[in-house]
């Protein structure tokens, strides 16, 4: 594809803590729909986003059982993003900062997530058309 773009994202926010996580994934979703190649460097709390042990729950305040509540699980969103990218001829290379993973005990990530270092972010940025950093505030 002549106009195949490669974008790199660096993200920092943990799941269930800030709207920035959802916003970052929405931007990636838009890129995935266009068939772009997407690199993600998940740093600090963001390494928890693809943690596959996240699980749904019922919600008594909402008066929902577990099925009705259908609680969002970021790792499911990331799996869907990966499928969307592949369907449109792109890809997602998701790198979790390894030391950040160890600190948090969240090594069990969804398929397609690999362990890496800040050096991976540097290399990905150098091979991309553009880079977007979405830090914790």
Partner 1 sequence: MKAINIIETAYRATIEEQDDTIVWITHAMKGAGAELDVLLRANAVNYAVKGQDASGLSFGAVTQTQPPRLDEDVQKLVGKGVDVYIVEEDLADRGIEPSTLVDGLKTIKKDSVAELISGYDYAWHW
Provide the binding-site residues for partner 1, judged by CB under 8 A: 15-19, 21-22, 25-26, 29, 32, 59-62, 64, 68-72, 74, 76-78, 80-81, 83-84, 87
Judged by beta carbon, residue 86 or residue 98, the one nearer partner 1 is: 86
The residue (of 10 and 75) whose beta carbon lies closer to partner 1 is 75
Q: Are 74 and 29 in contact (CB under 8 A)?
A: no
Min. distance of Cβ 86 from partner 1 in angstroms? 10
DSSP string, 10-44: EE-PPTTS-HHHHHHHHHHHHHHHTT-EEEEEE-G
Check if the beta carbon of residue 110 is closer than 8 Å to that of residue 91. Answer: no
Q: Give 83 or 114: the residue with its C-beta nearer to partner 1.
A: 83
Report in angstroms how near the CB of residue 117 gets to partner 1 at its nearest.
27
Structure tokens of 18?
Answer: 């800030």
Q: Which residues in 45-74 are b (16+ Cβ under 10 Å) and which e?
A: bbbbbbbbebeeeeeeeeeeeeeeeebebb
Least spacing, CB of residue 77 vs partner 1, in Å: 4
- Using the minimum distance from each CB to partner 1, give the nearer residue, 90 or 120: 90
């Amino acid at each position: 594809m002549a106009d195949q773009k490669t974008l790199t994202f660096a993200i920092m926010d943990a799941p269930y803590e800030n709207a920035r996580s959802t916003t970052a994934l929405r931007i990636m979703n838009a890129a995935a729909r266009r068939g772009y190649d997407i690199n993600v460097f998940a740093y600090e709390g963001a390494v928890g986003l693809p943690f596959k042990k996240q699980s749904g729950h019922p919600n008594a305040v909402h008066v929902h059982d577990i099925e009705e509540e259908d609680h969002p699980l970021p790792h499911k969103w990331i799996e869907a993003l990966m499928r969307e990218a592949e369907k449109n001829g792109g890809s997602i290379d998701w790198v979790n900062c390894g030391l950040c993973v160890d600190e948090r005990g969240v090594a069990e990530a969804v398929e397609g997530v690999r362990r890496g270092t800040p050096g991976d972010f540097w290399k990905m940025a150098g091979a991309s058309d553009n880079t977007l950093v979405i830090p914790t505030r």
